Copies of this chain bind each other. A is one copy, B any other.
């Protein structure tokens, strides 16, 4: 079986931004309330960060429950791991994701400033300074036959799209305009030369865009 590279549950504003400007330790999404972007996912029964037994089981839940299915590794940009830029100043700080990160696989963090790998619960973070193709190769090997999730942010997804390495994308477009920040696209139509798309409005207010290769 082919090992796919999949974008799952990536939320953007109606004008295509995945996060606002001015990301910092206290504001992983910069100048945007993450609640406004990802509340559709938080309301579902299968959301990875859910701690109680409630939640909806309709359309949005089909999207969140697919998050970990057949995933053996994740690739993410440095901004999804933490707000630092340049050389690491404090190796004791081990990312935004707490003692039990929701990835539960090897994770490859793309950065020009590498640091030693470490493990938190079921997740091992590796720091790699390489091109998308080479990083994907390492992630595929670590995934042991399973698919690889491309976790974001928008800049990282763009890099892999530009290198034509992405097999499927699920992007949830929120009815919220940001105006600036980290941008995935000006319009989803940019991908239509290479991908099929299903555009699926949800009662939660987001519109799911499901792309797969032509």
A184-214, CB under 8 A of B: which get 1 and which 0? 0000000000001110101100001010100
Q: Is the CB of A56 within 8 A of B200?
A: no
Q: Is the CB of A59 within 8 A of B203?
A: no
Q: Is the CB of A58 within 8 A of B197?
A: yes
Q: In the complex, A203→B168 CA distance in Å?
A: 18
Q: Which residues of B are found within 8 Å of A198, using beta-carbon distances?
A: 58-59, 202-203
| Dominant secondary structure at the A interface | mixed
Copies per complex?
2
Nearest-Cβ distance from residue A53 to partner chain B, whole angstroms: 7
Interface centre among A57, A69, A200, A202 (most CB of B within 10 A): A57
A104 in contact (CB, < 8 A) = no
- Segment of A60-68, A131-139, A174-182 in the binding face: A60-68
A2 in contact (CB, < 8 A) = yes
Q: Is the CB of A57 within 8 A of B168?
A: yes
User: Which residue of B is nearest A200, CB measured?
Assistant: B59
Q: In the complex, A212→B43 CA distance in Å?
A: 14
Chain A residues with a Cβ under 8 A of chain B = 1-2, 45, 53, 56-59, 61-63, 65-66, 69, 168, 196-198, 200, 202-203, 208, 210, 212
